Structure 1
Amino acid sequence: MSNESGIVSKVWSFASVLRDDGVSYGDYLTQLTYLLFLKMVDEFAKPPYNREIAVPEGCDWESLKGKRGAELETHYTKILRELAKAKGTLGQIFVKSRNEIQDPAKLYKIIDMVDKEKWSMMGADLKGKIYEGLLEKNAEDTKSGAGQYFTPRALIRAMVACIQPEPMKTITDPACGTGGFFLAAYDHIVSSHELNREQKEFLKNKTFYGNEIVANTRRMCLMNMFLHNIGEIDGETFISSADALVADEGKRFDYVLANPPFGKKSSMTFTNEEGEQEKEDLVYNRQDFWATTSNKQLNFMQHIRTLLKENGEAAVVLPDNVLFEGGAGETVRKQMLQSTELHTILRLPTGIFYKPGVKANVLFFDNRPGAKEAWTKEVWIYDYRTNVHHTLKKKPMQLEDLQDFIDRYNPSNRNDRTETWSEENPEGRWRKFTYEEIIARDKTNLDIFWLKDKSLADLDNLPDPDILANEIIENIEAGLESFKEVMETINGKVEE
């Protein structure tokens, strides 16, 4: 088998070649997913595995790799069409599949590259490295729109380091994207515990469950997890295509780790009598929600609370509006403080997400049984936004940047924390606020900050010009997004 760097280099070089032909990272990644899956099915059907995997006759790897030219293109299209009808993981991988590589010669070269490796024997770390790298490249391609499904891996690892998921417990993500939270949780459990046979089986097949309504993203999630040794190639899928917000499925979990999709409102698109596309706010009428609203983020926050077992733990990325918005927002915040222990908020900097201008936070809370008194006694806030500057390319956020927060969070004993802020040290980023202080604030506003922006007072402290320019662009683009939402609400029409 080729050495690791050689395999990575080959996979990446094909991405560059195809890009010159107008094939995006996303399209290449999708085709690579189909071919890798078929090749691994073929490998698992042979010794030493000898597994019977239900692939329709004439749709296997052997039938594909022996063809060339137009015959190859026709046969490949037929395979995609037939496998899309299959059940379980197989059908989910190939749902809505189609061939995006129109040059049969280049398609054959990719097939040949995949065929030369024994992927089933390859380490999960290497397979994961290849696939995760392509996912990140796809997220960087702003035209693809894939960035909204890709949470920065440093942030995910920091959230998992705080939650510290344990073996034999269940984890869900109701908007799981490409599966980043699942993989980080898997890695943490494997590296932190000596697992016995039962624990390994549970981790592989019973730990994770998620929802992802976008077919292509769900496909990438399934493949990403499978390459990391999670799930079975011929097993039932644990990534549902259902909209998580529509109804309570009745399943309860020990942990929720999530970054619900950006965008303030849930909406549905339809065609009116004039043939024009219009948007209509989508409101989820659920009896188990505290407030009825079209605000997607508030709905996810309410839904995530319902997913938790009693004493279950959650870490969720949510935008600023969830912390300060009135009306339904105020109702949800008051109920969260009452019925859960909302103990920690991490204020995130701009410049870390692929969608520009996002101002977000991580909310950490534990579910609790019904009680007369509020479960939340105090909320600890870590401000990693004020005077912090990151860009995706020149200064991306690393795990080390969040290490101080992880240390202050104190995962091993959350009740033993010490503020770094004081009247003597007003620059401290770690500060607690009591329940009484918070409910006394207008609209129970949790968007709390106290550090001074140094760039406003001292020109010597301005960030580098490229970072400053990037922040200006982000703010302008964020403003345009907000303005588009307002215009769509006024006109009720989908802007092209």
Structure 2
Amino acid sequence: MNPTVSYRPRHDQALVERLWNFANVLRDGGTSGLEYIEQLSSLIVLKRAYEQHQRPLNWQHVLGFDAWPRLTSAKRDHLITVYEQILDELASRPGTLGLLFRRAQNRIPDPALLHRLIVDVVDRYQWSAGDTGVVIEELLARMSTDTKTGAGQYFTPRPLIEAIVECVQPGIDDTVTDPACGTGGFLIKAFDYLVDHFPSGVTAAQRQRLNEGAFFGTELVDATARLATTNLVLHGVTRVDEAHPCITVGDALARPPVRRATLVLTNPPFGRRSTSEEPYREDFWTATTSRQLNFLQHVHSLLETDGRAAVVVPDSVLFEGGAGELIRRRLLAACDVHTLLRLPTGIFYAGGVKASVLFLDKPDPHPDGSPSTKRLWVYDLRSPHKAKSTALPGVDYAGFVSAYRPGRPRSERAETPLFRSFTVQDLLARSGVNLDLQVTEPSAEPFTLEEPEADLHRMAQEITSELSAALAEFAALTEALRPYGVHADGPDREAKR
């Protein structure tokens, strides 16, 4: 398919800088980057709803009341009370609107700063006219480097997402899902790709299906689910007044899926849970406390027959023994696991994390019982990039996309020094069905005394990243278990009034 130029306008970089500068002001007052963007997104939704109500043609009264004038006209001493009343009122609404404000709280305790954000920043722009979603994406990208709060765990680098989406090519007949959607990046980029490559001759029934639930996801943490929903609204993936939210708040692993998809795109969380916390699923091939292995099983159960998926996995999924070996055998048998992209170390928020992307299809089982996988192609994007303790912002995925040959038969692929193929017989013959496959030759550099120190340093980085991920998960669990209406630092707001 020939590349198509996007119709979407470029975002206002000056606006992004102003919004980010205000984030720095709030950070000094104890408001994190994630909390700021959540707060900003909620305010933008309120302002956009007001703008839609004021336009002379095709006006909409989404909220049922003009929340924005109430905020801008409130006296500063009463501003926080007025704002929290609005949040409470909207949280009780059904559908997407209720999800947008589910358990939402004011995170800016200084009324003067809240007033500045409302009157001097948000109120000065027409958010219905510009590409607001891209502005929020830019802020999220900057926020993802905030390792102190673990915010980056919800943010997959957008260049990686764009490369994956370009490879799988979402179409008008697809139903797209992300069972660990974070801020909604995969769903947004899949939607953007579909819009930019929208074919002619689409029927009314196809349009209706695309408008009513063709994109959906699951997110465990309330605050992140709110942010994802807002992000999807601002990008046009869904509407504020949609009766059925496209994001479900909950644990995607807790039960078998009630709805399947033709395309699964996801970067699930890494790590483990205790046996008591991990749900038992009869539709899984085996029980394990590894979340990433369970998500891989969940992705298989989510896929329709003839569906396809791209899943970001830690390298441990490729070689872990026990349940890992069994799951890899079952996956090679049940799916056509056709491509593995080995990612550079350090592209995620936690330095030292080694991860890869598995691309697979789910065909009908072969009548003779032979494996669905015939040949696995492995692209090494790791060796050309030296590992760093911080994220690598400039990774170029063009070589991988070109080698992948989107939309073309895989028989047309050609091996290169970075791209090799392995038959399924080769894979099954490897000890433990180890898929941690090397493409490039090991380094021929002579041994030096510094190598053990470098290895220890990388091991320390990996341990640090695991601990950071564990702390972030504890924070997410704390947020999920917090009673409705209770602030993180004190009694509920009703008791304060």
TM-score (norm 1): 0.84
Q: Percent of aligned positions with the same letter in both sequences?
A: 39
> 2:420·2:439 contact (CA, 8 Å) conserved in 1?
no
Aligned equivalents of 2:391, 2:237: Cα separation in 1: 33
Deviation at 1:402, TM superposition (A): 1.5
Matched, 1:103 2:87: no
Matched, 1:354 2:349: yes
> 1:352·1:390 contact (CA, 8 Å) conserved in 2?
no
Matched, 1:435 2:443: no
> For residue 160 of structure 1, what is the aligned residue in structure 2?
165
CA deviation map 1:181-219 (0-9, x unaligned): 111111211222345574555444432010001111111
Matched, 1:214 2:198: no
Aligned equivalents of 2:136, 2:129: Cα separation in 1: 16
TM-score (norm 2): 0.84
SS at match of 1:350: coil
Matched, 1:185 2:190: yes
SS at match of 1:32: helix
Deviation at 1:51, TM superposition (A): 2.3
CA deviation map 1:101-143 (0-9, x unaligned): 1221221121112222221222xxx312210111122211111
Aligned equivalents of 1:197, 1:144: Cα separation in 2: 46
> For residue 384 of structure 1, what is the aligned residue in structure 2?
381
Deviation at 1:53, TM superposition (A): 2.6
One-letter amino acid of the structure 2 residue matched with residue 256 of structure 1: V
> For residue 7 of structure 2, what is the aligned residue in structure 1?
none
Deviation at 1:229, TM superposition (A): 1.1
Aligned equivalents of 1:472, 1:69: Cα separation in 2: 55
Relative distance call for 1:45 and 1:323 in structure 2 (3 A) is: same
> 1:148·1:262 contact (CA, 8 Å) conserved in 2?
no
SS at match of 2:233: helix
Aligned equivalents of 1:197, 1:233: Cα separation in 2: 25
Deviation at 1:240, TM superposition (A): 0.3
Deviation at 1:313, TM superposition (A): 0.6
> For residue 295 of structure 1, what is the aligned residue in structure 2?
290
One-letter amino acid of the structure 1 residue matched with residue 182 of structure 2: G
Q: Report 1:26-425 matches (<5 A).
A: 26-47=34-55, 48-55=57-64, 60-112=67-119, 113-122=121-130, 126-194=131-199, 196=202, 198=204, 201-235=208-242, 236-263=244-271, 265-267=272-274, 281-371=276-366, 372-389=369-386, 391=388, 395-398=392-395, 401-421=396-416
Q: Could you tell me which of 438, 445, 456 is aligned with 2:434?
A: 445
Aligned equivalents of 2:414, 2:14: Cα separation in 1: 49
- Tell me which moved more, 197-206 or 280-289: 197-206
SS at match of 1:151: coil
Deviation at 1:456, TM superposition (A): 4.5
Aligned equivalents of 2:278, 2:21: Cα separation in 1: 46
Aligned equivalents of 1:5, 1:155: Cα separation in 2: 22
One-letter amino acid of the structure 1 residue matched with residue 197 of structure 2: S
The unaligned stretches of length 5 or more in structure 2 are 1-10, 471-477, 479-497
Cα root mean square deviation, aligned: 2.7
SS at match of 1:45: helix
Deviation at 1:146, TM superposition (A): 1.2
> For residue 477 of structure 1, what is the aligned residue in structure 2?
461
One-letter amino acid of the structure 1 residue matched with residue 349 of structure 2: Y
> 2:351·2:391 contact (CA, 8 Å) conserved in 1?
no
One-letter amino acid of the structure 2 residue matched with residue 479 of structure 1: I
Deviation at 1:173, TM superposition (A): 0.4
SS at match of 1:97: coil
SS at match of 1:365: strand
> 2:350·2:468 contact (CA, 8 Å) conserved in 1?
no
- Tell me which moved more, 477-486 or 213-222: 477-486
CA deviation map 1:399-441 (0-9, x unaligned): xx221111111112132344435xxxxxx11111111111111
Deviation at 1:9, TM superposition (A): 3.4
